[in-house]
Amino acid sequence: MDLIRPVYSNDQQKLIELNQIMEEIGLLHDKRYIEQKEKIEQLRTEICRLNKMLLSANNDQFIYNDNNNKNYSMFSTMQQRSKNK
């Protein structure tokens, strides 16, 4: 833009239009920055939610496997007692 400005130095209307265009570009840049920031925040929130779901699923599976192991252990003990009788 600074390269264009000297060409328009004699035409005040062109300078005003150039300044308006630069202001619009700045506003669009700010708007895009805010939208990107909001999108990143939404993605971070979603990632946290998914991580919590994954951790709770892993914990549930661990508890399930632990209970199954206990049940299997109890079953094995009962079978061994039956055989020993």
Query: Which pLDDT score, from 0 to 100, does residue 9 have?
Result: 67
Q: Mean of the pLDDT values across residues 40-67?
A: 80
pLDDT class of 17 with cuts at 50, 70, 90: confident
pLDDT tens digits, residue range 3-15?
666 666 677 888 8
Cα–Cα distances in angstroms (integers) from residue 27 to residues 18, 21, 34, in the given order: 14, 10, 11
**Mean model confidence pLDDT for the chain:** 77
Between CA 58 and CA 51 the distance in angstroms is 10
Residues in contact with 59: Cβ distance below 8 Å, sequence separation at least 6, in sequence order = none
